[in-house]
A = this chain, B = another copy of it.
Amino acid sequence: MEPLSKTSYVILGMLSKSPKTGYDIKSLVDVSTRFFWAASYGQIYPELKRLESAGLVAGSDDATGGRQRRLYEITAAGREVLHQWLTAGAPLHFELRHEGLLRFFFADAVGRDEQIGLLRSIGAEHGRVRDQLRDEIRPHALAGSEESGAEFPLHTVEFGIAYQEFIVDWCERMERRLAKTAKTANRS
């Protein structure tokens, strides 16, 4: 069996706690793993079908009246591959794409004002994400933790908050440093 995509482990992981619809999974991802592993309907629904034909999840129709609803639950085989992935020694995929940093890299070509403006927008954006994690995602993780005893989703959000905060702080420090050594603009 060819190896599963990382996103299918998100699905398996979410289903390992309780049965869910594709919609449920997407909603959950949006308030939890999204910041380090996003997923869209365009991935989730087809992936659920693939996982079902691979015997890792089992779907059952669960329509209420005229509204269609397909509830998936993880199978024993699914639990097995999830556990395998969770304990594997394989290299962990890590990827960052940061347009702000890319611009910053080339920022010698613009004036001090633009350099500082760039740092402000980068900092502001990461500040917004930090706020969102703190005010929306963290309470959600906290509730889940009290209800199920799971502590790692909470640890993960807390890492996220500290991570965003680190970038915000760095932007502020760099901004101050640049402000001190004001310099005339050097267009291209």
Binding site for B on A (CB under 8 A): 6, 9-10, 13, 16, 32-33, 35-38, 79, 82-83, 85-87, 89, 91-110, 114-115, 121-122, 125, 149-153, 155-156, 159, 162-163, 166-167, 170, 174, 187-188
Complex interface: chain B residues within 8 A of A166 (CB) = 162-163, 166
Contact between B121 and A16 (Cβ–Cβ < 8 Å)? no
The answer to whether residues A102 and B16 also contact, given A83-B109, A95-B96, A159-B170 and a CB cut-off of 8 A, is no
> What are 29 A-B contacts with C-beta separation under 8 Å?
A9-B102, A10-B102, A13-B105, A16-B106, A16-B109, A16-B188, A36-B98, A36-B101, A36-B102, A37-B102, A79-B188, A83-B109, A83-B110, A85-B103, A86-B109, A86-B110, A86-B114, A87-B110, A89-B121, A93-B99, A94-B98, A94-B99, A95-B96, A95-B98, A96-B96, A96-B97, A104-B156, A108-B152, A162-B166
Copy number in the complex reads 2
- State the CA gap A156–B103 with chains docked (Å): 10
Contact between B174 and A125 (Cβ–Cβ < 8 Å)? no
Contact between B36 and A96 (Cβ–Cβ < 8 Å)? yes
